């Protein structure tokens, strides 16, 4: 076997200032400092494009393939650090692709994309090796979060401590889905949690309602943009009530979160 080129990841020194990539929190990097490589495999071009765009924005190196053959070719030559794999592909069974992929990249984590109606014929063992999956339709935040989780766990232990986001006295744990403000635990619903995570991953940055909608709600959401206002309101009630507000409105622009004061 070829010596595994699987990179171990490390985190750059934590800092609160923005960095190369879009003002995000600490980025995952390969051991040599180059960006993490993610292979996207989906035959629906629109989806693949959407995903590629979003993941690129995370500062990752993205390559997309539309079928199993291409995916395998790419895996072989490009050696990605993670794979985003639609289990329904045109040319070959998703599981076949997976099998060959694993033969090629034994230690690379895979995030599966599955249709929601395929839940019934679930595939045993899909998550057995620490892999994960999301069901369509998904939100981009969800995909990014899961992917980060996989990369984090697949990488060096050093990167493991980083399952928490912190802004001021507000802390969010991505593993346990717990949130604390000033040490006090706060219960959030799934949507509230994803919204807050998105805000906290972009501290001090104005996010428009459209951006939030595109990012936190699933891509097929057809409702009113006003849900964002509603959920911001919910969040405020839970984390800003009676304290120095951290969520701020920029009229005509959007919302942002920043440490109190």
- Rounded to whole angstroms, the Cα distance separating 60 from 56 reads 5
Quick check: bond before 182 cis, omega within 30?
Answer: no
| Footprint on residues 66-105 left by a copy of itself (CB under 8 A) | 95-96, 98-103
Q: Least separation, in Å, of the C-beta of 224 and DNA?
A: 4
Least distance to DNA, CB of residue 252, Å? 5
- Name the binder of 79 from DNA, a copy of itself, none, CB < 5-8 A by kind: none
d(CA 9, CA 147) in angstroms, rounded, equals 14
Site for DNA in 188-207 (CB under 7 A): 189-192
The stretch among 32-40, 68-76, 236-244, 250-258 that binds a copy of itself (CB under 8 A) is 250-258
Question: Taking the CA of residue 117 as centre, how many other CA atoms within 13 Å lie in the half-sphere pointing to its CB?
Answer: 1
Q: Which 3 state secondary structure label does DSSP give 129?
A: coil
Q: Which of 90, 176, 183, 242 binds a copy of itself (CB under 8 A)?
A: 176
Of 72, 154, 195, 246, the residue at the interface with a copy of itself (CB under 8 A) is: 154
Residues of this chain, 39-68, that bind a copy of itself according to CB under 8 A = 49-50, 52-54, 56-57
Q: Which does 78 bind (CB under 5 to 8 A by kind): DNA, a copy of itself, none?
A: none
**Cα(138)–Cα(109) distance, integer angstroms:** 19
CA torsion 182-189-114-128 (nearest 10°) is 50
Residues that bind DNA (CB under 7 A): 1-2, 187, 189-192, 209, 217, 221-224, 226-227, 229-230, 232-233, 236-237, 249-254
């Amino acid at each position: 076997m070829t010596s595994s080129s699987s990179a171990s990841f490390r985190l750059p020194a934590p800092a609160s200032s923005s960095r190369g990539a879009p003002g995000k929190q600490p980025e995952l990097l390969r051991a040599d400092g180059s960006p993490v490589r993610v292979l996207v495999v989906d035959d629906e071009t629109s989806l693949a494009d959407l995903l590629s765009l979003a993941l690129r924005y995370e500062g990752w190196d993205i390559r997309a393939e539309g079928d199993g053959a291409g995916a395998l070719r790419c895996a072989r030559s490009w050696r990605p650090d993670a794979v985003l794999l639609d289990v329904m592909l045109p040319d070959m069974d998703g599981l076949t692709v997976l099998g060959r992929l694993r033969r090629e990249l034994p230690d690379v984590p895979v995030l599966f994309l599955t249709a929601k109606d395929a839940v019934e014929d679930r595939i045993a063992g899909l998550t057995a090796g620490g892999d994960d999956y999301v069901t369509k339709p998904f939100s981009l935040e969800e995909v990014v979060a899961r992917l980060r989780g996989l990369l984090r766990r697949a990488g060096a232990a050093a990167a493991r401590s980083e399952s928490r986001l912190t802004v001021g006295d507000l802390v969010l744990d991505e593993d346990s889905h717990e949130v604390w403000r000033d040490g006090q635990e706060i219960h959030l619903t799934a949507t509230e949690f994803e919204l807050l995570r998105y805000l906290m991953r972009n501290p001090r940055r104005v996010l428009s309602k459209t951006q939030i909608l595109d990012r936190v709600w699933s891509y097929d959401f057809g409702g009113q943009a006003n849900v964002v206002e509603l959920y911001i309101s919910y969040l405020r009630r839970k984390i800003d009530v009676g304290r120095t507000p951290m969520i701020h409105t920029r009229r005509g622009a959007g919302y942002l979160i920043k440490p109190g004061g």
